């Protein structure tokens, strides 16, 4: 499941825009929460990403990127990830379980501007129903606040009620339904679909920076 349109697609569209990094705090490449480790993807992760969730038809049904059919598709995502991390304060994070180091999905930030970013998540089916998505989203809110983001938003397909509930649990406020907003290539609709938009407006307080355990 993913509560935002394809973060990789969004990151590819904006990666060429270089923000004023001098005014932004760089996010840590590794973050620990109560049960999760969020870590910047590396080339060594490509096979695990492909097998665990990116090639799974059920997992990718509601995401905004085409299901990965070859490992080369996953390598392309890693290239996009690297570009986003290079040019912005943060980018995609892989989600691993602290207890076992097992890869279970991904989350991250995709910047539109230094003050506005999108977030989302995708989890392997074995990780559904355990609250991991909500925990990861709370971490992304902390990262966004600490890196100077004022508006953090996420969208999900208008029929995907499970993702809508996760976003509400993550502290996001429902703002409305956006008509013909995004393509969901794995649904096979062949056009743009409506999405539900959720957002949180952040106070950029330096005290929150210490909340991210790196």
Residue 47 has pLDDT above 90, yes or no: yes
* Stretch 95-123: mean pLDDT: 97
Neighbours of 45 (CB within 10 A): 19
C-alpha neighbours within 13 Å on the C-beta side of residue 27: 34
Predicted pLDDT at 207: 40
pLDDT at 24: 63
Any domain includes 87: yes
Residue 206 — pLDDT band, cuts 50, 70, 90? very low
Query: What residue ranges in the chain does DSSP mark as E strands?
Result: 30-32, 36-39, 92-97, 103-113, 116-123, 151-157, 173-183, 192-201
- The domain in which residue 32 lies consists of 7-211
> Does residue 62 form part of some domain?
yes
Note whether residue 1 is domain-resident: no
CA distances from 206 to 6, 142, 192, 212 (A): 30, 11, 39, 11
Number of domains observed in the structure of the chain? 1
pLDDT value at 4 more than 70: no
Provide the percentage of residues in the chain whose pLDDT is more than 90.
Answer: 81
Within a domain: 196: yes
Give the pLDDT score at 20.
46
CATH of the domain at 124: 3.40.630.30
CA within 13 Å, CB half, 191: 4
């Amino acid at each position: 499941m993913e509560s935002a349109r394809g973060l990789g697609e969004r990151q590819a569209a904006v990666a060429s825009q270089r923000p004023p990094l001098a005014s932004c705090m760089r996010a840590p490449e590794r973050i620990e929460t109560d049960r999760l480790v969020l870590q910047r993807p590396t080339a060594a992760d490509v096979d695990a990403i492909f097998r665990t969730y990116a090639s799974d038809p059920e997992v990718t049904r509601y995401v905004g990127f085409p299901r990965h059919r070859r490992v080369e598709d996953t390598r392309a995502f890693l290239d996009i990830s690297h570009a986003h991390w290079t040019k912005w304060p943060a980018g995609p994070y892989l989600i691993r379980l602290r207890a076992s180091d097992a890869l279970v999905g991904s989350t991250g930030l995709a910047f539109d501007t230094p003050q506005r970013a999108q977030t989302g998540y995708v989890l392997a089916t074995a990780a559904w129903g355990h609250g991991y998505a909500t925990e990861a989203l709370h971490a992304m809110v902390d990262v966004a606040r600490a890196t100077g983001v004022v508006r953090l938003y996420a969208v999900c397909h208008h029929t995907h009620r499970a993702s809508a509930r996760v976003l509400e649990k993550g502290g996001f406020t429902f703002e409305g339904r956006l008509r013909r907003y995004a393509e969901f290539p794995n649904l096979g609709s062949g056009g743009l679909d409506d999405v539900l938009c959720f957002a949180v407006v952040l106070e950029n307080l330096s005290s929150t920076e210490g909340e991210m355990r790196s």
